[in-house]
Amino acid sequence: MSDESLAEEGFYGSELFDFMKSIVDDDPDLKKKSIAKVSSVCVITLKNNKGETKSWLLDFKKNGTVSKIDGKIPKSDIHLTLKDVDFVKLINNEANPQRMFMAGKMKIKGNLMKAASIEPFLREVDPRTKNEKAKL
């Protein structure tokens, strides 16, 4: 397990990947449940306000890991692409993923059914509901 930050300068929402990683690493039950329910590899690509993109990998097929992608994007079951600010809204439960998709704010490549299965995990790692845990 690496202690290297997953945050990326210029990407406001990238710090949430550090939070996701810490929650998954610190909660073996959540990791096991996520692997069982999500059962897929997801790439999330964020676009910042300068038009730059950066991607992160959520591997819930076998390992239950969250990591930053440097270089070529690996093969995945799901590839979500959205603006940095929309990702923050999604994680904070301030936006509905289906509505974001229908409005063109989130693009999904790959298996749409598996994409729907990642929503409960994203709700589980809402920083507002885990804030006390994160401070401990």
Residue 50 is classified by DSSP as T
Tokens of 103: 């409005």
C-alpha to C-alpha distance for 87 and 90, rounded to whole angstroms: 5
Which residue reads 């507002």 in tokens? Answer: 128
Starting from the edge strand earliest in sequence, which strands make up the sheet with 53-59, in order? 65-69, 53-59, 41-47, 78-83, 106-110
Task: Say what the pLDDT of residue 83 is.
Answer: 97
Residue 129 confidence (pLDDT): 65
pLDDT number for residue 130: 56
Our CA dihedral for 113, 63, 69, 77, rounded to 10 degrees, sits at: -20
Q: What is the pLDDT of residue 134?
A: 37
CATH numeric code, 14-124: 3.30.1050.10
pLDDT, one tens digit for every residue, the chain (136 residues): 456 899 999 999 999 999 999 999 999 998 999 999 999 999 999 999 999 999 999 999 989 999 999 999 999 999 999 999 999 999 888 999 999 999 999 999 999 989 988 888 887 777 766 554 433 2
Report the amino acid identity of residue 108.
I
CA 92 – CA 75 distance, rounded (Å): 27
pLDDT of residue 80: 97
